């Protein structure tokens, strides 16, 4: 029997009536056209094993089973609603691969997210809003967020200990065995050739173009940085 929250979500599926059915169907077609899609969805027994394994289902009104069911039933309205809401609650841990039907609901969500980003859906813009600085850092320097960027108030869900770590970062780092990790510079250096290679990959795969749909300002900054470097190397992106 459907739970009250599931029924509320079904009601909400009809809440995007400012978007035409044709547009919703176009987006679903884009999801299904992805080469990975046939490998990720074979139908659904509705057994709920994926829900039992899913950490996000414990904390949010979210269910990988609903994702698999909506896609398997080709429910265009519900899939659209999920692209605007549910898919951003998945933590992409892929515990749902336990599915006895061979489904990969987390993988279907990956595709739905990519389609949401590529089409600049409001949910994608909102979900990535707080990550501009991180995206900028990773894509411009080719490395991850360095510990000196740790801000105690930036991510409340990291828990109360993050403030203690942040306040005593130098001390914590000395506890790491490799000396190269004792500073925030050496461990995060990227070889210039690696950086050039990454820039080419981000241009060629369309990763940079994806940013354009959700944050045009960030896209312009990154494009300028990358093009300048590639021109210096004699590479035309
Ligand atoms: S990948 Fe997403 S849907 Fe699958 S178990 Fe992890 S959080 Fe749940
Ligand atoms: S585990 Fe697989 S078959 Fe069972 S509900 Fe989840 S997606 Fe459907």
pLDDT in tens, 86-97: 999 999 999 999
pLDDT (0 to 100) of residue 181: 66
Task: Give the closest ligand to the alpha carbon of residue 46.
Answer: 2
Provide the pLDDT for residue 187.
Answer: 61
Q: Which pLDDT does position 221 carry in this prediction?
A: 94
Average pLDDT over residues 108-137: 91
User: How do residues 126-180 score in pLDDT, each as one tens digit?
Assistant: 988 878 888 888 888 888 766 566 666 666 677 778 778 778 877 887 887 777 6
13 C-alpha to center of ligand 1: Å? Answer: 21
From 52, 99, 105, mutation site for ligand 2 pocket: most ligand atoms within 8 A of C-beta: 99
Residue ranges of domains in the chain: 4-119, 144-188
What was the pLDDT predicted at 148? 61
Ligand nearest to the CA of 65: 2
pLDDT in tens, 189-221: 788 899 999 999 999 999 899 898 889 999 999
The residue whose C-alpha atom lies closest to atom 4 belonging to ligand 2 is: 47
Tell me what pLDDT residue 146 has.
Answer: 62
What is the pTM (predicted TM-score) of this model? 0.78
Range with top average pLDDT, 10-24, 108-122, 124-138 = 108-122
The residue whose CA has the least distance to atom 8 of ligand 1 is 54
- What is the reported pLDDT for 7? 45
Which pLDDT does position 112 carry in this prediction? 98
State whether CATH 1.10.1060 applies to domain 4-119. Answer: yes
Average pLDDT, the chain: 86
Quote the ligand 2 centre to 123 CA distance (angstroms): 25
- Give the whole-number percent of the chain exceeding pLDDT 70: 84
What's the CA gap between 49 and 199, in Å, rounded?
41
């Amino acid at each position: 029997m459907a739970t009250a929250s599931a029924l509320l979500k079904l009601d909400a599926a009809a809440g995007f009536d400012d978007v035409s059915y044709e547009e919703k169907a176009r987006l679903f077609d884009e999801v299904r056209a992805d080469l990975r899609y046939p490998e990720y969805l074979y139908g659904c027994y509705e057994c709920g094993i994926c829900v039992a394994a899913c950490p996000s289902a414990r904390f949010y009104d979210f269910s990988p089973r609903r994702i698999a069911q909506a896609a398997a039933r080709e429910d265009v309205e519900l899939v659209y609603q999920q692209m605007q809401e549910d898919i951003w609650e998945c933590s992409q841990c892929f515990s749902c691969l336990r599915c006895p039907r061979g489904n990969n609901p987390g993988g279907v969500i990956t595709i739905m997210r990519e389609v949401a980003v590529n089409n600049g859906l409001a949910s994608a813009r909102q979900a990535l809003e707080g990550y501009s600085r991180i995206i900028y850092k990773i894509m411009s320097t080719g490395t991850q967020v360095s510990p000196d960027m740790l801000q105690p108030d930036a991510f409340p869900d990291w828990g109360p200990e993050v403030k203690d770590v942040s306040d005593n970062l130098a001390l914590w780092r000395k506890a790491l065995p490799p000396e190269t990790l004792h500073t925030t510079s050496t461990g995060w250096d990227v070889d210039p050739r690696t950086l050039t290679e990454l820039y080419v990959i981000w241009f060629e795969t369309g990763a940079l173009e994806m940013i354009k749909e959700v944050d045009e300002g960030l896209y312009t900054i990154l494009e300028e940085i990358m093009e300048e470097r590639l021109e210096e190397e004699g590479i035309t992106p």
